[in-house]
Copies of this chain bind each other. A is one copy, B any other.
Amino acid sequence: MVENNNTTENQIFEAALKVFHKKGLAGARMQEIADEAGINKSMLHYYFRSKEQLFSQIFLQSFKRFIGGILPLLNADNTWEEKIPEIMGHYANVMQNNPHLAGFVISELRQNAGAFGDILKQNALLNSVFFKQLQEAIQKKEIRNVHPVQIWVSVISSIIFPYIAEPMVKVTLDLQGDNWDMFITNRKKIAADMIINYLKVF
């Protein structure tokens, strides 16, 4: 674990995060991580034993940041309607500061889904307050009868997909430079409105 203030260990961890996020497990090179950290390659093995173990720690932290970050928002003390734009705003911020996070997690899971089974098996999302609020609203016929999972996937896909597919989206849709920031700003509002509108107007 990287919890103490050992500078060298943290430097390696940060460098590894950067390289793994960009190149993935298969594409990353221990030498490149060492160079990125400005440190000797042997140190990587001294602190983390093997490439696999270093990757494993990076992946675990990344996955937690990707999924765990929204749990407080999902369980917060506000309405489902308020939660939707907050979730989108949260992910937009996370992606802005860490553009490769989502793509990294999803790519590695796709290429090697079995290896992380234990990390994933937690029904934290399904048991969240957000899901319960939606179920209640459906029972009270306040909103359209749609499975909360569908709503959830709509929420995250509409904001996360553009970042995962960023290179393709940018070029095929001419969203280079300032256009991109504008696109994301509009995206948050439009996607949230679209979902809320769909649920309430029926």
Min C-beta distance of A184 to chain B, whole Å: 11
Q: Does A1 contact B (CB under 8 A)?
A: no
Query: Complex formed: what's the CA distance from A26 to B186 in Å?
Result: 36
Q: Does A76 contact B (CB under 8 A)?
A: no
A10-40 vs B, CB cutoff 8 Å, 1 = contact: the mask equals 0000000000001111110000000000000
- Using CB atoms, name the residue of chain B closest to A171: B120
A147 contacts chain B at the CB level, 8 A cutoff: yes
Return the chain B residue nearest A199 by Cβ: B194
A117 touches which of B110, B122, B171, B190 (Cβ 8 Å): B171
Q: A23 to B158, Cβ gap below 8 A? A: no
Q: Find out whether the CB atom of A106 lies under 8 angstroms from the CB atom of B109.
A: no
Q: In this assembly, does A146 line the interface, its C-beta being within 8 Å of a C-beta of chain B?
A: yes
**Residues 24 to 79 of chain A near chain B (Cβ within 8 Å):** 24-27, 67
Query: Is A125 a contact of B173 with CB atoms below 8 Å?
Result: yes
The reply to whether B111 and A187 form a contact with Cβ atoms under 8 Å apart is no
CB within 8 Å of B: which residues of A? 22-27, 67, 100, 103, 105-107, 109-111, 113, 117, 120-126, 146-147, 149-150, 152-154, 156-158, 160-162, 164-169, 171-175, 183, 186-187, 190-191, 193-195, 197-198, 201
Q: A122-B172, A153-B162, A194-B198 are in contact. List 17 more A-B contacts (CB 8 A).
A: A23-B111, A24-B24, A24-B26, A26-B27, A103-B107, A106-B165, A107-B110, A109-B167, A117-B171, A120-B167, A120-B172, A125-B173, A126-B173, A154-B191, A157-B161, A161-B161, A198-B198
